[in-house]
Amino acid sequence: MKKAVFCVVAVVICISSALSGCQDTSSVKTQGRPQNVYLDSTIVEFVNVSYEENSNKSGDIESVTVGWLFHNIAGKTISAKIDVQFYNKNDLLLYNQTKSIRNMPAGYTEQSFQLANQVTYEGSGAAFVDHVVISVTEI
């Protein structure tokens, strides 16, 4: 009898300790963000972001591509302007491209990288990119 009670207690403790590390899987988890890409917004948050430097055969940087996935945290359907700004080490703006979001439902999370949520800066100035700021403002 004592062995059965001991086994039940041991199983309950094992199950409790195994479940204590569980997290809410319905909440949005931001994956590792590149250290040089920043978000300026109160209506969306990063779910994922990518930063890729593309080099030619001699190793010179030909272009920089930034991609993002957003989660709507505004609590309402939003339409927004997205400014993607590439800066050098001296905070001098090298390139800016504007994109937009139309009617993103409250709580919606983008699922895949597409042309609509990527910007590529090409040319000789791409080698000088130090950081990127993505500003999202409601329109």
Whether 59 maps to a domain, the answer reads yes
How long is the chain?
139
Q: Provide the pLDDT for residue 2.
A: 55
Whether 108 maps to a domain, the answer reads yes
Whether 11 maps to a domain, the answer reads no
Query: Does residue 77 or residue 30 have the better pLDDT?
Result: 77
Question: Is the confidence at residue 6, as pLDDT, over 80?
Answer: no
Whether 70 maps to a domain, the answer reads yes
Q: Provide the pLDDT for residue 51.
A: 94
Whether 2 maps to a domain, the answer reads no
Whether 7 maps to a domain, the answer reads no
What CATH number is attached to the domain comprising 68? 2.60.40
Output the pTM of the full model: 0.72
Whether 106 maps to a domain, the answer reads yes
Q: Provide the pLDDT for residue 113.
A: 82
The mean per-residue pLDDT over the stretch 86-96 comes to 95
**Structural domain harbouring 74:** 29-138
Q: How many domains does the chain have?
A: 1
Question: Is the confidence at residue 110, as pLDDT, over 80?
Answer: yes
What's the start-to-end Cα distance of the chain, in Å? 70
| Span 53-71, pLDDT tens digits | 999 888 889 999 999 999 9
The DSSP element (H or E) to which 121 belongs, if any, is strand 118-122
Query: CA torsion angle for 74, 75, 79, 82 (degrees, to 10)?
Result: 20
Q: Provide the pLDDT for residue 58.
A: 87
Task: Work out the mean pLDDT of the chain and round it to a whole number.
Answer: 82
Question: Is the confidence at residue 95, as pLDDT, over 70?
Answer: yes
Determine the Cα–Cα distance for residues 23 and 30; give it in Å rounded to an integer: 14
Whether 21 maps to a domain, the answer reads no
